[in-house]
Amino acid sequence: MTLPSAVQNPVETIQFVRRGEVVTLGNVPPDRTLLEVLREDLACTGTKEGCGEGDCGACTVVLGEAEGDAIRYRAINSCIRLAHSIDGMALWTVEDIASADGPLHPAQEAMVQCHGSQCGFCTPGFVMSLFGMYQNHVSKGEPITRALAQEELSGNLCRCTGYRPILDAAQKMGELPPVAVDEPALLQKLQQLAPTASGLEADFSYQSPRTLAGLLKARAAHPGAQLVAGCTDVGLWVTKLHQQFEQVLDVTRVKELRRIENYPQHLAIGAAVPLADAYAALEADRPQLHNFAARFAGLPVRNAGTLGGNVANGSPIGDSMPLLIALGANVVLMSVRGHREMPLEQLYTGYRKNVMAADEVLAWIKVPKPTALENFRVYKISKRYDDDISAVCLAVNLQIENGVVQTASVGAGGVAATPVRALKTEAALKGQPWTLATVQQAIATLRAEFSPISDMRASAAYRVEVLGNLLQRYWLESQGMRQINLASFTLEETA
C-alpha cells in the first residue's frame, strides 16, 4: 500500500513547552492538526473536537509566545491549526492549568461556582478562552466587564444555551485567589527553543522562514508549496475536504511581516500580523470600526488568522476586503525579482484567483490614514450576530464638504465572485449634493450594479435588497440617527 505523498517526505521535529517542560515530537506530517496531535498522539482528550472548522470553540487551547520580555497569550482553535505552527511556543490545554497539588485555576473554579457547565462538551473550550482572558486582563489588574466577556467569548458556542452563568464566571475570576504563570522561567525555556531559519532543502515538508529574504527564496525554490498564514482557511481544506499537502510554507514567523508600521500618510500592516492586532491598529485610527472588528469571526480565529491571509485568500465573503477597498488600501506583492504595488481590488481576477505569480507572496497591506472630511462606515449582515460569515458586507467612505460629496469609495462583499468596488455607485455619488434624492438614486444604482447568487446564507434577491438598505442606513446615520441596529445595544452590567 502506497502512503499518501504528504507523509512520504521526512518531517521536522516539533518542540514546544507544556506544563513547564519541553515536549518533543517527531515524524509529524505537515498537514496534521494540533488537535489530532493532542488527542491522538498525546492522549490529551480534555480538548474536544466539535465542528472541525474553528466555529464552535470546543477545541480551544492557549498559545504563549515571547514578545520582548513578556509572554503574549492567544486563545486559538486547535482543530484547524497545523501542529508544526506551534514549534517554539508554549501551549496550555484544559488539563494543564490546575495546580499540581489540586486547586483549580480561577477560570475553572469560577465555572464551578457560577454553574457554567451543563452537558460539559463545550466547557473545556470556554475554560481555555477564560484562561486567555485571565492572563491578558485579570493578571494585569484589568477588570472584565460584561461587554468584554461577551466579545472575547463570542468564538465559543454553548449548545445548552448556558451563556449567562459563563459570562458570570468570566467576571468572577478576578474575585478568586490569584494564580500566576512563572513567566521568567517560561521565557528561558522558550529562548532555548528559539528555532533557526529552515533550510531550502528540496524535500522539506514544513518550512517556516524567519526572514523575508528567506521566505522569498523558499517561495522561488518551491512555488508549488502550500502557503499558510494562520491556517484558518487552509485548515478547513484539511478537516473538511481531506486535502493533503506535500510541502507547507508558513509565513507567520517572518519577522518583517509581523510588524505594523505607522507612517504619516498610511499604516503598513505586514501580511503575518494576526487579525486581532491588525484590526486593533485600524481601530486606533478609526474607533467606529470596533463593533465590526469584534464581529469578525470569534477571538480565537482573529488570534490565529492573519490580515494577509484573509486578503490573499480572496473569498467573496471575506470581511476585511470590502473594508480595505473602501479605505483605498493597496497591497504589496514581493518575490526575489522585486516588488509591485496595486489597489487591493485589482488583486483579484476571479473566484479565489488573483494576479500573483507562482513565486510571489503578498507582503504588505497599506491603508491610508483618515482625513478630516472622512465619513466612513462598514456594515456586516449575517444570520448569527457573533462568530458568523457575512451574507452581505458593505463599506462606505465619503468625503463631504459644503453639502457636496467630494469623493466616494464603496466596497462590497457577498455580491460577486470576488470582493468588489462599487464603481457605478461611486460615480452616482461623487460631485452630487448630499441629499435624500442623491442617496435614493445611489441606492438604485447599487442594487443594479451586481448580480449576486443565492446560497445557504442568503438569496440573491435578499442580498440586492440589503445592499440598498445598508446605504440607506449610512444616510440615516449621517443625519444623526443611531438607534437603528444592534450595534447600538449596550449590555448592562450585572449588580
- In CATH, what class is 9-190? alpha beta
Q: Is the pLDDT of residue 494 over 90?
A: no
Q: Say what percent of the chain tops pLDDT 90.
A: 84
* Distance between CA atoms of residues 340 and 349, nearest Å: 17
Is residue 203 very low, low, confident or very high in pLDDT (cuts 50, 70, 90)? low
Cβ contacts of residue 382 below 8 Å, gap of 6+?
295, 388, 389, 390, 391, 457
What's the whole-number average pLDDT of the chain? 92
Q: Considering the chain, tell me which residue range(s) the CATH 3.30.390.50 domain(s) occupy.
A: 379-486
Span of 113-127, 210-224, 227-241, 454-468 with lowest mean pLDDT: 227-241
pLDDT at 202: 53
pLDDT of residue 197: 42
Which of 223, 107, 211, 255 is closest to 169 using CA atoms?
Answer: 107
Cβ–Cβ < 8 Å for 274, 74 = yes
pLDDT at 195: 60
Q: How many residues does the chain have?
A: 495
- pLDDT of 2: 32
Q: What is the pLDDT of residue 11?
A: 52
Answer whether residue 129 shows pLDDT above 70: yes
Q: What is the mean pLDDT of residues 23-51?
A: 95
User: 436 pLDDT band (50/70/90 cuts)?
Assistant: very high
Q: Which one of 122-131, 184-193, 227-236 scores highest in mean pLDDT?
A: 122-131
| Residue position matching grid coordinates 490573499 | 312
pLDDT of residue 495: 44
Q: Is the pLDDT of residue 103 over 60?
A: yes
Calculate what percentage of the chain has a pLDDT beyond 70: 94
* pLDDT > 80? residue 5: no
More confident call, 270 vs 2: 270
Say yes or no to pLDDT of 477 above 60. yes
Q: What is the pTM of this model?
A: 0.92
Burial 6-20 (b: 16+ CB within 10 A, else e): bbebebbebbbbbee
**Of the listed ranges 136-150, 199-213, 286-300, the one predicted with least confidence:** 199-213
Over residues 177-198, the pLDDT tens digits come to 999 999 999 999 999 887 644 4
Q: How confident is the model at residue 4 (pLDDT cuts 50, 70, 90)?
A: very low
Using a 10 angstrom Cβ sphere, with 0-12 exposed, 13-18 middle and 19 or more buried, the burial of residue 84 is buried
pLDDT of the residue at 8 = 38
Contact 31, 102 (CB under 8 A): no
Q: Is the predicted pLDDT of residue 200 greater than 90, yes or no?
A: no
Candidates 3.90.79.10, 3.40.50.970, 3.30.390.50, 3.40.50.720; CATH matching 379-486: 3.30.390.50
Please give the grid coordinates belonging to residue 481: 440617527
8-12, 43-47, 138-142, 208-212: lowest mean pLDDT where?
8-12
Read off the pLDDT of residues 307-331 as tens digits, 9 standing for 90 and up.
999 999 999 999 999 999 999 999 9
Domain with CATH 3.10.20.30 in the chain: 9-190
Model pLDDT, residue 492: 59
Tell me which of 40-44, 144-148, 234-238 is least confident. 234-238
pLDDT higher than 70, residue 201 = no
All cell numbers assigned to 299: 477571538
Helix (H) or strand (E) holding 92: strand 90-92
Decide if pLDDT at 491 tops 60. no
Residue 342 has pLDDT above 70, yes or no: yes
Sequence-ordered list of residues with C-beta below 8 angstroms from that of 312, at least 6 positions apart, any chain: 227, 229, 271, 347, 354, 356, 362
- The stretches of 305-419 forming alpha helices (DSSP H) are 307-313, 320-326
CB 17 within 8 A of CB 90: yes
Average pLDDT over residues 69-91: 96
